[in-house]
Amino acid sequence: MIVITGGAGFIGSVLAWRLNQSGHTDICIVDHLGSSEKWKNLRALTFSDYLDKEEFIGRLERGDFGDGIDVIFHLGACSSTTETDAGYLMENNYRYSVRIGTWREAHKKTRLIYASSAATYGDGSQGYLDDENLLPTLRPLNMYGYSKHLFDMYAFRHGWLSDIVGLKYFNVFGPNENHKGDMRSVINKAYPRMRDEGTIALFESHRSDYRHGEQRRDFVYVKDAVDMTLFFMERRDAAGLYNIGTGAARSWNDVAGAMFGALGRKPSITYIPMPETIRAKYQYFTQADLTKLFEAGCAVRCRPLEESVADYVHEYLSKDGLIL
């Protein structure tokens, strides 16, 4: 059996979809649906069971699954970079991960692949190299990034990273992110206005070394991110931390241009002040170093931003934004 925590969420549901495409259906989806709309991400999937995250962790620790779990993709977490409830993030993101990791230490036959984040790199002053030995030098800018970094550090100190995998996802976008609210990609949020009014609003830069809209991120399409993730299910000898991105930093203006191009519209961009609450925590530049990933044997090469955006716009956003 394959377990996907966060399996009704963005990356998790697309991962399950890809697994279905390759013939895997003995999948246990673990999540907490609550009153959100992410249940809609499950409609296109074939899986053997669904468990709430609290029921799952309880049954896992009681030994209900025995040695019946082949792989755990631990993707479940609060991914809000503006979440201010530090206690909630410590319990939901950090402590829950420690509990899964502790169980896995007693069940070595189970492959554990978990989601870390590029938010752990902070302002990028220490670079974006996925070297475990550099972990103590990192200073995340927000509590979400810190909750992810804290588990990376725990796994490193306890020697777990010698045989489990942590994936540092960069700016992932694509179908099945509708439920994420303010944490949706700009592409998802801006699409209706661009379609109806032919314009987009981007944040101004509040640094003199970046022009408006020229803040740069590593934008990776969810389909490519999932293919990179699945590489580690097959490559059982690979372990440690790995960046998941394109290896190329593109500007927000590039993203807007790709959207206008996909819609066949003339670019029209306005720039608005960045909220003061996030200015000090804003990453102006991110770019995944993929050397380690490729050296491990991963042959996935991400499609260009323009191609990814066009696929997202034409195949999903022009409909309802979901894989159906």
List pLDDT tens digits, range 205-228: 999 999 999 999 999 999 999 999
Q: Name which of 179, 182, 146, 167 is nearest 281 in CA terms.
A: 146
Q: Name which of 99, 45, 107, 105 is nearest 74 in CA terms.
A: 99
Q: Catalytic site residue 168?
A: no
| Average of per-residue pLDDT values in the chain | 96
pLDDT digits (tens, 9 = 90+) for 259-304: 999 999 999 999 999 999 889 889 999 999 999 999 999 999 999 9
Task: Say how far apart CA 29 and CA 206 lie, in whole Å.
Answer: 42
The pLDDT score that the predictor gives to residue 81 is: 87
Using alpha carbons only, what angle is made at residue 158 by residues 143 and 168, rounded to the nearest 5 degrees? 45
The pLDDT score that the predictor gives to residue 324 is: 84
Q: Name which of 91, 77, 84, 95 is nearest 4 in CA terms.
A: 77
Domains of the chain plus CATH, in order, are 2-173+219-248+285-302 (3.40.50.720)
The pLDDT score that the predictor gives to residue 82 is: 85
Token pair belonging to 194: 């661009």
C-beta separation of 238 from 297 below 8 A: yes
pLDDT digits (tens, 9 = 90+) for 301-316: 999 999 999 999 999 9
pLDDT digits (tens, 9 = 90+) for 14-34: 999 999 999 999 999 999 999
Catalytic-role residue among 180, 223, 242, 312: 180
Task: Say how far apart CA 5 and CA 55 lie, in whole Å.
Answer: 12
Enter the DSSP assignment of 285: B
Catalytic-role residue among 114, 128, 144, 146: 144
C-beta separation of 12 from 6 below 8 A: yes
Under the banding of pLDDT at 50, 70 and 90, the label for residue 251 is: very high
Under the banding of pLDDT at 50, 70 and 90, the label for residue 84 is: confident
Q: Catalytic site residue 144?
A: yes
